[in-house]
Amino acid sequence: MSQKLHDNERIKIESNFLRGKLVEGLNDNTTGAFIPDDVQLVKFHGLYQQDHRDYRAERKKQKLEPLYSFLLRARLPGGVVTPEQWLEIDRIAEELTDAGSIRITTRQTFQYHGIYKRNLKSVFQELKFKANIDSMFTAGDVNRNTICTSNPEQSELHTQVYELSKKISEHFLPKSNAYAEIWLDGEKVHETEQEPIYGNIMLPRKFKIAVALPPYNDVDIHGNDLNFVAIIEGQKIIGYNVVVGAGLGMTHGDKTTFPRLGDDFGFIAADKVIEVAEAVVTTQRDLGNRVSRAHARVKYTLETHGVEKFKGEVESRSGIKFAASRPYQFTERGDRIGWIKGIDNKWHLTVFIENGRILDYPGKPLKSGLVKIAKVHQGTFRMTANQNLIIASVPEAQKETIEALARECGLIDDGTTNQRKYSMACVALPTCPLAMAEAERYLPALVTDVEALLTKHGIGDDHIILRVTGCPNGCARPMLAEVGLIGKAPGRYNLYLGGNTNGTRLPKMYKENIDEATIITTMDELIGRWANERESSECFGDFVIRAAIVAEVIIASKDFHD
Ligand code: SRM
Ligand code: SF4
């Protein structure tokens, strides 16, 4: 007997190519929310319905409906915007969102938080008509924002991977006119709405693509369903290794869910990317699990059907045979904060933005500082997959001016330690409905404590890749960190140890459900041991495995939890 499909499948099929009852919902002034089916559907338009969790209990007490608002996630393959676009992005945040912030995400784009339903249409229209930016397919069961290495040094190669990520993004965009019709007042874009790739059922689950330019793994390939790793010969990209089926989310207590590293399917020529990507996407569309959403990502399709079967499907659908993988090496994945001169002779300034949250902070007016920079900057801004920002392609003559403005507003701060630069947290409270513990609001103080521990043990200049999330979905990729903290309950976290610095190994649980004080005492002991017992420049993640503090995770599959 066939199993009952997940209800989200019905919603997609009945939605009339993603329209649902969104127009009626927008016109309903009696609530700040959409009807439940449409709450799922708005995701395909780049929106999440949320409510401010700090006010939830008080509003309930007062018998008010939750304070509903929306998160909008922009579609920016490769994360690049012009200064003119930045000024509009900033203005819209200021005028039309409650949070007033621009939040750079771990997938190289930005989010607005706190848009009330009454302002939604204006945000969509201002973004599209003033900044030429949309939020199509940045969420939902489709290909999400395509990310690529943002290393500015190898400028020409960067341009190539950026162009490729844009091409991939365009290729997987919907043919539905719903977005234009609902948000942009009826501008018809496509003659036919039939979806050649997605059909009317879309994919079983979200789908993520990254393009990486070794030696940098700043996109963290093992967080994506599909990766193209550039193989470079003599300053030219000759093709890509294709890595399939990575993913980081899991559910506490459910051992059938797990993070997983991707499988290397092999090498393809540079001009075959779109065919192969489409074959991977349609294979997942047809083989992916539509009964259990917790098991619907490509990583589970590979586990269920086997890597060889999936790969065979991709080869027969694309008509392309994978060649043997070519060698490449990742050596790092953090952003190189500061100035770098590209081979194009332009300067690129990567600025560190804690948690990716751009706001005016006391003594650090980052948001207004970026506006001042955008008013004079002649290059572009590039968001990174580590929640930072690159002020890119600055001509020599402008370097001093940009540097002075960046210092004035705190975007350059010589006091920021490497530990802070290599730490990351997801959004979590107060907006994320799935958060079990704090992450973004906890990270700054946690880093201060870890900095003090490093100093105490005489290694203040060293750092550990530290990532915190409010739940096990893994949005700040803690399952690829040397130290990952995963929220379990308010103030309590599972502590994972043993990822490596280039992002190719999963950490393993060391302590479960510990409070913040225990995190610090545990880290004190471990950092002390690392300082005293490490071999030469051995990084923390390698040390905890060699010292048998945790076991190395070799196979990232069902036996992950053993
Ligand atoms: Fe995520 C869900 C925020 C990157 C795995 N993620 C969410 C939601 C939308 C909560 C929800 O479903 O209602 C969060 C909104 C919080 C808020 O208020 O902003 C959220 N995810 C984020 C962002 C903003 C985190 C950040 O601090 O930057 C990132 C936005 C990326 C983007 O621009 O598209 C973000 N999410 C990730 C990543 C990292 C990545 O892609 O490199 C992951 C792990 C990689 C992966 O997909 O395996 C990730 N998010 C999830 C999951 C678990 C998915 C799974 O199949 O295991 C969920 C929950 C779900 O989909 O049901 C989720
Ligand atoms: Fe929310 Fe969990 Fe993602 Fe953090 S990891 S943003 S708490 S879904």
> Among 225, 473, 477, 486, which is best to mutate for testing ligand 1, by the most ligand atoms less than 8 A from CB?
473
Is the pLDDT at 336 greater than 70? The verdict is: yes
What's the pLDDT at 343?
81
Is the pLDDT at 1 greater than 60? The verdict is: no
What's the pLDDT at 202?
95
Domains in the chain with CATH codes: 1-139 (3.30.70.2500), 143-173+203-333 (3.30.413.10), 338-416 (3.90.480.10), 419-546 (3.30.413.10)
Q: Which residue has its alpha carbon closest to ligand 1 atom 16?
A: 432
Q: Considering every ligand atom, which ligand is closest to the CA of 493?
A: 2
What's the pLDDT at 561?
83
Is the pLDDT at 159 greater than 70? The verdict is: yes
Would you say 467 and 503 are in contact if contact means Cβ atoms under 8 Å apart?
Answer: no
Q: How confident is the model at residue 426 (pLDDT cuts 50, 70, 90)?
A: very high
Q: How confident is the model at residue 344 (pLDDT cuts 50, 70, 90)?
A: confident
Q: How confident is the model at residue 187 (pLDDT cuts 50, 70, 90)?
A: low
Q: How far, in Å, CA of 277 to CA of 228, rounded? A: 9
What's the pLDDT at 188?
63
Pocket of ligand 2 (CB under 6 A): 426-428, 432, 434-435, 439, 469-471, 473-475
357-411: per-residue pLDDT in tens? 999 999 999 999 999 999 999 999 999 999 999 999 999 999 999 999 999 999 9
Is the pLDDT at 457 greater than 70? The verdict is: yes
When pLDDT is averaged across residues 284-304 and rounded to a whole number, the result is: 98
> Mean pLDDT, the chain, as a whole number?
95
> Among 427, 467, 468, which is best to mutate for testing ligand 2, by the most ligand atoms less than 8 A from CB?
427
> What Å distances lie between residue 402 and 85, 89, 154, 201, 394, CA to CA?
18, 20, 21, 48, 8
Q: How far, in Å, CA of 442 to CA of 446, rounded? A: 6
H or E stretch including 390? strand 389-394
Is the pLDDT at 148 greater than 70? The verdict is: yes
Reference 75, options 24, 143, 133, 127; nearest CA is: 133
Is the pLDDT at 19 greater than 70? The verdict is: yes
Q: How confident is the model at residue 555 (pLDDT cuts 50, 70, 90)?
A: low
Would you say 189 and 30 are in contact if contact means Cβ atoms under 8 Å apart?
Answer: no
The tokens of 140 are what? 């939902």
Would you say 461 and 418 are in contact if contact means Cβ atoms under 8 Å apart?
Answer: yes
Would you say 145 and 210 are in contact if contact means Cβ atoms under 8 Å apart?
Answer: no
Ligand 1 contact via 249 beta carbon (within 6 Å): yes
What's the pLDDT at 560?
80
Let me know if 460 is exposed, middle or buried by CB neighbors in 10 A (0-12, 13-18, 19+): middle
Q: How confident is the model at residue 556 (pLDDT cuts 50, 70, 90)?
A: low
> What Å distances lie between residue 369 and 28, 377, 404, 446, CA to CA?
39, 12, 10, 26
Reference 198, options 286, 114, 274; nearest CA is: 286
Contacts of 180 (CB under 8 A, 6+ apart): 186, 187, 188, 189
The tokens of 245 are what? 């089926």
Contacts of 531 (CB under 8 A, 6+ apart): 457, 458, 459
Ligand 1 contact via 474 beta carbon (within 6 Å): yes
Q: Just list the catalytic residues.
A: 73, 144, 206, 208, 426, 432, 471, 475
Let me know if 441 is exposed, middle or buried by CB neighbors in 10 A (0-12, 13-18, 19+): middle
What's the pLDDT at 46?
98
Q: How far, in Å, CA of 44 to CA of 433, rounded? A: 18
Would you say 474 and 521 are in contact if contact means Cβ atoms under 8 Å apart?
Answer: no
Q: Which atom of ligand 2 is nearest to the CA of 433?
A: 1
